[in-house]
Amino acid sequence: EYSILAPRLLKQTVGSFAPQFNNNFQHDSQEFCQFLIDGLHEDLNRVKNKPYVEQFEAYGMEDRLAAEESWRNHLKRHDSIFVDYTQGMHRSHLRCPGCGRESVKFDVYSSISIPLVPPKSGSPIPLKDCLDQFAAGEQLDEHNAWYCSNCKKHVCALKLITLWNTPDILVLHLKRFTFEKCPDVDGRILRRKIEDTVSFPIDRLDLTEYVLGPVDPNAPPIYKLFGVSEHSGTTANSGHYTATARNSEDGNWYRYNDSNVGFTSGDAAITGGAYLLFYQRSKGSLRWAGMEKELSGSATPSVDEDGFQAVVGKKKKNRR
């Protein structure tokens, strides 16, 4: 009833640009998806001559002004349909545990990596619990330490990431793989898999409470699921990938397993193998995750090298 397309040419093409994918090994679907999106973005990038842009430190600034300035800097080098509808921005706050120095930056993201919390009484883990853990922050370890310019060394800083806004197409990456030493394989580091089931919404994922920036009532951060990438197996280097997707025309759900395609439901994707969750905004659309409206309605004052803002006087009315 259905024709089958094997994406061998796509894989070969990607492999020609990325040698790590130019083989028959098992690969991480999140890494492949991210590389593919980044590559398509660069091919469609409207910015042909990229200027040098310094990293923007936002500590001490009003969040709204810092977010707008950070997005302006991003647009100087990146402008494509992927920027329009698949990229958002989050606020990253780091604090040195030694001297207390703080750093605030607004970074662009195209997917959100969500930690998995331990299950309670063997029941499925609510996605909200994982989102709460994500919003609670983390203390960095020695593998991803932050350099403190005051202490002149790398430190295990306290890191808090808060969503400033969310794009029309939202990708959630469930962090199922952990790095562990394997004594049975000469002590090499292997990625072990967390196979606990995460219960995620199908028709209504409301992220309003996690968004720090302005929320547009005509396009709120409420989403419906349209696809899931699923992994079966014990490690990221082995196993098998399948997919469950909602057809945008008839609204039906289909399961894709190599050459086999069949009807299913969105709820059937809620398993211990769900790895990437693809969501679309349910109502309205916001270019640049809403930053287009913010920038068009903003009269951000210029800031000189000493950090002073220019004062713009009001235009006097003509007297008759």
| Digit-coded pLDDT (tens) for 217-260 | 999 999 999 999 999 988 777 789 999 999 999 999 999 998 88
Calpha distance 107→72 (Å, rounded): 12
Q: What is the pLDDT of residues 31-75, one digit of tens each?
A: 999 999 999 999 999 999 999 999 889 999 999 999 999 999 999
8 A C-beta contact, residue 256 and residue 263: no
What is the pLDDT confidence band of residue 187, given thresholds at 50, 70 and 90? low
Q: What is the DSSP letter of 117?
A: P
Strand residue runs (E) in the chain: 88-95, 102-109, 112-114, 125-126, 138-139, 146-148, 153-155, 158-163, 169-174, 177-182, 188-193, 198-199, 205-206, 222-232, 240-246, 253-257, 260-264, 274-281
Give the 3-state secondary structure of residue 176: coil
What is the pLDDT confidence band of residue 194, given thresholds at 50, 70 and 90? very high
C-alpha distance across the termini of the chain, in Å: 80
- Rg, the chain, Cα only: 22
What is the pLDDT confidence band of residue 307, given thresholds at 50, 70 and 90? very low
- The residues, any chain, with a CB within 8 Å of residue 87's CB and separated by 6 or more, are 78, 108, 109, 110, 167, 288, 289
Q: What is the pLDDT of residue 196?
A: 95
| Secondary-structure breakdown of the chain: helix, strand, coil percentages, each rounded to the nearest 5 | 25, 30, 45
- Closest Cα partner for 223 from 123, 79, 88, 40? 88
Give the 3-state secondary structure of residue 240: strand
The residue type at 198: V
Span 72-87, mean pLDDT? 97
Q: Model-level pTM?
A: 0.88
- Closest Cα partner for 195 from 123, 127, 271? 271
- In angstroms, the Cα distances linking 284 to 218, 223, 277 are 6, 11, 20
pLDDT, the chain, mean? 89
Q: Which residue has the higher pLDDT, 233 or 3?
A: 233
Sign of the CA dihedral with 193 first, then 110, 16, and 242 last:
positive
